[in-house]
Amino acid sequence: MSSENIAIRVHGVSKVYPIYDRPHHRLLQMLSRHDKGRWFREFWAVRDVDFSVARGETLGIVGRNGSGKSTLLQMICGTLTPSAGSIDVRGRVAALLELGSGFNPDFTGRENVFLNGTVLGLTRPEIEDRFDDIAAFADIGEFIDQPVKSYSSGMYVRLAFAVAINVMPDILVVDEALSVGDEAFQRKCFARINAIRENGATILFVSHSASVVTELCNRAVLLDHGELLGIGAPKTIVSRYQKMLYAPADRLDAIRSEIRAECGTPEAAAEQGLALAEAQQVVSSASGVEMEEQDELFFDEGLVPQSTLHYESLGAEITDVRLETPGGKRVNVLKADREYVYAYNVVFRQSASAVRFGMMIKTVTGLELGGGASSTLTDSIVVVEGGQEFEVRFRFRAHLAPGTYFLNAGVVGRVGEEEGYLGRCIDVAMFRVMHDPERLATGLINFDIQPSFRSAEA
């Protein structure tokens, strides 16, 4: 990545805060002249983080609560100063860091548009020219002339996002703020983010939603305890994040080390960035075009996922994952719109309660298309004894466009006071839907639309 093509460069950045056990310790520290007499503990919110973001790239940032995501973004935006390291940001930045950040609660919405727009680098005439577009996007009606302290959280976000996207930023930073808005507004926001991205802007996006990160971002980084554990393809980073999120406490350190080894170096990141191409290459190299034209379904031994990830088992082991026809023939090259069975076995190594089984179908980029559960929570299996084995079967119709898809499998049950994964496999199997020259449906999903038309004159 050439230096001219870099929009953001973060080099060795750290942020440390002093933590005082007693209020008067703060005064004692001010009076202390020697390091050995320090009256505080150090809390490293971010420690020695390095990465670069190319112009026009969308970078996702994921991590557990308290991992340092918001602190990192605030340093990139300039609202916090790093304790160490340097940050080089090239271009106008528009940020949604916190709900209503940059707003004066006593000002009206209209006044805050001019205030926030000025902070983001617009002149008053420029704001006046764009005000109607901002108000229309926010769509808060007469509340635009009311003090923002009377706004709901959704109205705050609407107005803040409307201002941010209308300053035509070179870099847009979004920190989970869109989770507050309703679904219709979220869809409008994501559509506008895509438009901004297509116009060449750089986007930093923090979200806990795996599907949003994998669908929207070109790359992703994983933070934990202020440390950058890995950087690479969104699908890879999100799967590691989820593995860490659901891991037992006594396995966390080991999993962190695994992620660091797999994704923590530039070389590993580059390899993970090739995951998509590799997955597609497996499909094309193993099966020729002439096989796509065959009417018979078949099993292609070359369709083996390269991104399989097994969660730490909490007493359940998933085995013999397979796709079958209703008649029992094992297949992984399918014809669209026919019925199939996704099946796997589960061996319980110890007793479990409130047990349910699940599955999920995803695209190559990790977008979750749909799945199913074996029962509702109230209808779950009350008790399963250790040593028992279950065969789990999900019958479904493949209303899917031609392409390659991946399958997840999972077992949930009572873990402490909550429901949690007893066993889970990400990308444990893959399948391909063959091309159909007579297909009229468009997009990924076939909604069985029945088209009709006639002459208006008739």
CATH number at residue 8: 3.40.50.300
Q: Indicate if 261 and 403 belong to the same structural domain.
A: no
**pLDDT score of 273 more than 50:** no
Confidence label for 359 from pLDDT (cuts 50, 70 and 90): very high
23 occurs within a structural domain: yes
Q: Which of these three, 217, 249, 272, is where a domain ends?
A: 272
Q: Are strands 352-362 and 368-373 parallel, antiparallel or unpaired?
A: antiparallel
CATH number at residue 400: 2.70.50.60
Q: Indicate if 248 and 199 belong to the same structural domain.
A: yes
What is the pLDDT at residue 185? Answer: 75
Q: Indicate if 367 and 267 belong to the same structural domain.
A: no
346 occurs within a structural domain: yes
359 occurs within a structural domain: yes
14 occurs within a structural domain: yes
Q: Indicate if 373 and 428 belong to the same structural domain.
A: yes
Q: Which of these three, 245, 272, 299, is where a domain ends?
A: 272
Q: Considering only CA atoms, which of 430, 393, 426 is closest in space to residue 312?
A: 426
pLDDT of 190-240, one tens digit each?
A: 778 888 888 889 999 888 877 788 888 889 999 999 999 999 988 889 888
Confidence label for 293 from pLDDT (cuts 50, 70 and 90): very low
Q: Indicate if 427 and 322 belong to the same structural domain.
A: yes
Q: Which of these three, 272, 304, 322, is where a domain ends?
A: 272
* Cα–Cα distance measured from residue 76 to residue 10, given in angstroms and rounded to the nearest whole number: 8
Q: In the structure, how many helices (H) and strands (E) does the chain have? A: 12, 19
Q: What is the CA radius of gyration of the chain?
A: 26
**pLDDT score of 1 more than 80:** no
User: What does the pLDDT average to over 352-369?
Assistant: 93
313 occurs within a structural domain: yes
Q: Indicate if 331 and 416 belong to the same structural domain.
A: yes
Q: Indicate if 306 and 427 belong to the same structural domain.
A: yes
118 occurs within a structural domain: no
Residue whose tokens read 């020729």 = 288
Q: Indicate if 309 and 353 belong to the same structural domain.
A: yes
Q: Are strands 58-63 and 219-224 parallel, antiparallel or unpaired?
A: parallel
Q: Indicate if 217 and 297 belong to the same structural domain.
A: no
Whole-model pTM over 0.85: no
194 occurs within a structural domain: yes
The H or E element containing residue 287 is: none
Q: Indicate if 318 and 392 belong to the same structural domain.
A: yes
371 occurs within a structural domain: yes
User: What does the pLDDT average to over 443-458?
Assistant: 88
Greater model confidence, 120 or 272: 120
Q: Indicate if 84 and 208 belong to the same structural domain.
A: yes
Q: Indicate if 302 and 236 belong to the same structural domain.
A: no
- What range does the domain containing 254 cover? 3-91+170-272
pLDDT of 33-54, one tens digit each?
A: 665 557 778 889 999 999 999 9
Number of structural domains the chain divides into: 2
What is the pLDDT at residue 291? Answer: 38
